[in-house]
Structure 1
Amino acid sequence: MNREKLELAAARVREANARLATTLAETKRDLERAKAELDREKAEGKADDRFAERARSGQGGRDLQRIQELVDRGRLGWDDVLLGRGEEWMTNAVRRMLGPLKSAIDRGGLDEGEARATRADDDEYFDDPLGGSSAG
């Protein structure tokens, strides 16, 4: 009878060990997924920072520079602009940017020459919403 109890106890320990191993494996997978998500979010944050710096410097054209100034002042966010909740000129600027941007993303980015060649200055056609237009 003692032997039966020992065998039963050993079987329970093996079952518990198997459940523990399964739980550990699931936890490792969850941690790996969470780490990958965090790494992606960090990379997106760095990309957002680089985009904002390029917009701020005027590399994306004057309209994007104006939008970034408004974002920096806290008047709106890029999410608002990208979702069409900004003013019409903002939506138009983003639409002009999206074609070359998608192409650049597909290629892995713009080189410096392309970035300078894609600058857009539309002040001769549209008023500057921040009051510094050269339009007549």
Structure 2
Amino acid sequence: VLRISKGDPNAPAIWIDGGIHAREWISPASVTYIINYLVENSDQLKADYYVLPVVNPDGYEYTFRGDRLWRKNRSSPEKGGVCIGVDLNRNFGYRWGGLGTSKQPCREIFAGSGPFSEPETAAIKNFFDASAADFK
């Protein structure tokens, strides 16, 4: 996670991420553009920015060498399973397993075995749990 800040301990914090779905190539590029903008205009910042350009690096990389339309991460199938990956956007704790998700590992919208079951989403959760920043 990249922090862009003027160093004000009372500044509100803003989280920006991209690349959660592997096939959405414009997302990491857009986040990289935002990083450049924030750095070039850092004297005008009124908040601390915490930026993660690619949440799903393994899936993102796989879309360049394998399946261009791959969506999920590249986690190994559960024991006895054959389907790879979890839709990281559906692996967070809020309303996990609700509408718009699937419990079937072969579906593109597979939410995983439980909330934060994937290392990518668990790392984001751990970051927020450990952070003293004032996220808005």
Normalising to structure 1: TM-score of the pair? 0.24
Higher strand share: 2
Normalising to structure 2: TM-score of the pair? 0.24
Q: Return the index of the structure with the highest Cα Rg.
A: 1
